[in-house]
């Protein structure tokens, strides 16, 4: 209520009481979708979810889980502005889709996600997300994210994993050793981008730093905090989708023109929550001018004549090795968007650790992937090689041994070169991931193998178990892990009912 009151008073100051009252009416309409109230508490959302799941279950049983049952459930989800499960994601089978629609947890997750995005979008439209009030994300969203992470930490600390050998670890211990830990994640990102820079130096390539921004109509607030008169109501996730589609077109054009580039993309919000992209790309120096021209051309395809478009929509800066490394250039962006370590204050004057928490809440709310590497070999293979380096198994493959040594020494540049360089197609690389795809049906009896299907009836995704190099297989994951609550004696873990849906063995710990 404090947030809504603040937004109301701000609207009064910027417009009038009449417009502020009209704005309240529009907000009420956005928060009310038929009998779903997006401002409701968790208990009310759980009750709503159970009601819709039960309705879908009744229709599904009466229609014998036919396509008519799916059509009814799909229309019900669309009625509440929720994205229904699509058969094309399950090999054209509607049964897993119906099972999801009949599950109250599926409804609850979807509604809570819609609730968080709607409330944050409303706060942004009210002017509560800007440098002058709450930069990057609203106070409500930050508090929601804080509670969510606290709940996750409590679960991680109170839940254990035990393997075949009786070794037991808490999920928190395993979290802290993985890239889920912000410090580990930041270190791995810096290792990879530094490795790319070393590869570029070895190949005689140069570095370019680009920034792509969305058109003015997608920004809710002006730099000084005032309302943007051209704002068309675009949400941050919609603006990110626009930039994603734009970059997809640019990459296709670069491919057609034979202009390969590799590097890192970072997505971060403007002060009002509108995303923009930073790209650190390495390429042949002879290609720089053509690549810049292509980026600029595509960036200006939408609203090219608006004021400041040519100046701000796309900017490019050449990385001068004499003035510093490319890795050092992006270090502040990586730190700012993860945990704010080794930095002082950002452009809004906030402490970067506080900024990182605000950006984390923003990215979580709108499901935005903050970092993505362009080109280079799979980091999954890199991690599996590091696992092999800590095992007692020996590889007969000289190629695999070289890759293991590079990964164990955290030499991403050496790993890239062993894997064929920075721009080779992934399917052509000499080392591939090995996955175990279980048969869904017993070929002898015709029975469904329940361990091979999810609780929704669709096949479980293939599980990573090792690597393939020079036609030889190396198994890196040999242990089975069981999820158990803290305090359970090791010898009785097989008889424990955790009350949770059965999950596949957790790859993180193997």
Q: Can you give the residue ranges of every domain in the chain?
A: 2-133, 182-374, 380-479
Residue 22 burial (CB count, 10 A): 13
Residue 453: what pLDDT? 85
CB-CB contact of 303 with 273 (8 Å):
no
Q: Using 50, 70 and 90 to split pLDDT, how confident is the model at 162?
A: confident
Q: Give the integer Cα–Cα distance in Å for 62 and 272.
A: 49
Residue 297 pLDDT > 90, yes or no?
Answer: yes
**Span 52-109, pLDDT tens digits:** 999 999 999 999 999 999 999 999 999 999 999 999 999 899 999 999 999 999 999 9
pLDDT grade for 231, boundaries at 50, 70 and 90? very high
Q: What is the pLDDT of residue 293?
A: 97
Q: What is the pLDDT of residue 494?
A: 42
352-366 helix and 139-158 helix, angle to the nearest 10 degrees:
90
Residues 6+ apart with CB under 8 A from 239: 214, 218, 274, 275
Residues carrying an active site annotation: 329, 333
Q: How confident is the model at residue 340 (pLDDT cuts 50, 70, 90)?
A: confident
- As a whole number, the mean pLDDT across the chain is 88
Distances (CA, A) of 326 to 200, 279, 381: 10, 11, 25
| pLDDT at 249 (0 to 100) | 97
* Higher per-residue pLDDT: 293 or 21: 293
Q: How far apart are CA 48 and CA 87, in angstroms?
A: 25
204: phi then psi, degrees, rounded to nearest 5: 75, 25
CA torsion angle for 238, 243, 244, 250 (degrees, to 10)?
150
Indicate whether 44 pLDDT > 70: yes
Q: Decide if pLDDT at 306 tops 80.
A: yes
The reported pLDDT for the residue numbered 392 is: 65
**Worst-scoring range by mean pLDDT, 132-136, 189-193, 262-266, 410-414?**
132-136
Residue 490 has pLDDT above 70, yes or no: no
The mean per-residue pLDDT over the stretch 361-376 comes to: 96
Residue 508 reports pLDDT greater than 60: no
Average pLDDT on 504-508 reads 38
Q: Residues of the chain with pLDDT > 90: what percent? A: 63
Structural tokens at position 348:
């809004």
Band of residue 329 on the pLDDT scale cut at 50, 70, 90: confident
Say if residue 393's pLDDT is above 80: no
Q: What is the pLDDT of residues 416-462, one digit of tens each?
A: 999 999 999 999 999 999 998 877 777 777 677 777 888 898 888 89
Once rounded to an integer, what is the mean pLDDT over residues 139-149? 94
Please give the pLDDT value at position 445.
75
Q: Which tops the pLDDT comparison, 326 or 412? A: 412
Range of lowest pLDDT (178-187, 225-234, 406-415, 500-509):
500-509
Q: How far apart are CA 334 and CA 321, in angstroms?
A: 20
pLDDT of residue 172 exceeding 60, the answer is yes
Q: What is residue 336's predicted lDDT score, i.e. its pLDDT?
A: 86
DSSP strands (E only) in 244-295: 262-269, 275-283
What pLDDT score does 5 carry? Answer: 63
Residue 347 has pLDDT above 60, yes or no: yes
What's the pLDDT at 343?
Answer: 62
The answer to whether residue 12 scores a pLDDT higher than 70 is no
pLDDT at 487 (0 to 100): 59
Q: Helix H segments across 34-87?
A: 42-62, 67-79
CA distance 17 to 281: 50
Backbone phi, psi, residue 121, to 5°: -65, -40
Residue 496 confidence (pLDDT): 38
């Amino acid at each position: 209520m404090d947030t809504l009151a603040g937004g109301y008073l701000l609207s009064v100051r910027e417009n009038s009481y009449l417009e502020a009252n009209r704005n309240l009416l529009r907000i009420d309409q956005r928060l009310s979708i038929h009998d779903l109230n997006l401002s409701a508490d968790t208990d009310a959302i759980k009750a709503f979810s159970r009601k819709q799941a039960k309705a879908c279950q009744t229709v599904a049983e009466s229609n014998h889980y036919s396509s008519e049952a799916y059509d009814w459930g799909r229309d019900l989800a669309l009625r509440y502005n929720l994205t229904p499960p699509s058969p094309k994601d399950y090999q054209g089978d509607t049964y897993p889709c119906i099972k999801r629609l009949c599950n109250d947890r599926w409804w609850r997750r979807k509604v809570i996600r819609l609730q968080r995005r709607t409330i944050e979008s409303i706060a942004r439209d009210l002017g509560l997300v800007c440098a002058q009030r709450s930069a990057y994300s609203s106070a409500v969203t930050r508090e929601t994210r804080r509670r969510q992470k606290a709940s996750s930490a409590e679960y991680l600390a109170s839940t254990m994993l035990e393997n075949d050998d009786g070794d037991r670890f808490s999920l928190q211990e395993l979290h802290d050793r993985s890239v889920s830990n912000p410090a580990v994640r930041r270190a791995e990102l810096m290792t990879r981008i530094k490795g790319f820079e070393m590869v570029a130096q070895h190949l005689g390539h140069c570095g370019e730093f680009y920034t792509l921004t969305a058109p003015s109509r997608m920004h809710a607030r002006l730099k000084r905090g005032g309302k943007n008169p051209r704002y068309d109501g675009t949400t941050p996730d919609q603006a990110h989708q626009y930039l994603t589609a734009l970059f997809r077109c640019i990459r296709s054009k670069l491919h057609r023109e034979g202009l390969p580039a590799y590097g890192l993309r970072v997505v971060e919000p403007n002060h009002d929550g509108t995303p923009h992209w930073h790209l650190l790309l390495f390429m042949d120096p002879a290609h720089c001018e053509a690549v810049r021209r292509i980026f600029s051309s595509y960036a200006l395809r939408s609203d090219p004549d608006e004021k400041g478009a040519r100046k701000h929509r796309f900017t490019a800066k050449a990385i001068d090795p004499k003035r510093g490394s490319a890795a050092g250039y992006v270090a502040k962006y990586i730190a700012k968007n993860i945990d704010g370590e080794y930095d002082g204050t950002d452009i809004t004057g906030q402490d970067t650790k506080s900024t990182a928490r605000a950006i984390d809440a923003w990215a979580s709310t709108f499901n935005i992937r903050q970092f993505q590497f362009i080109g280079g070999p799979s980091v999954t293979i890199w991690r599996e090689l590091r696992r092999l380096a800590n095992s007692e198994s020996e590889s007969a493959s000289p190629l695999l041994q070289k890759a293991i040594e590079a990964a164990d020494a955290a030499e991403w540049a050496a790993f890239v070169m062993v894997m064929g360089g920075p721009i080779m197609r992934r399917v052509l690389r000499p080392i591939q991931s090995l996955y175990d795809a279980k048969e869904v049906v017993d070929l002898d009896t015709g029975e469904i193998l329940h361990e091979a299907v999810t609780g929704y009836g669709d096949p479980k995704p293939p599980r990573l178990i090792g690597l393939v190099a020079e036609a030889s297989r190396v198994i890196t994951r040999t242990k089975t892990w069981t999820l158990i609550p803290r305090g359970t004696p090791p010898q009785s873990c097989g008889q424990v009912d955790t009350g949770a849906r059965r999950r596949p063995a957790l790859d993180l710990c193997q």
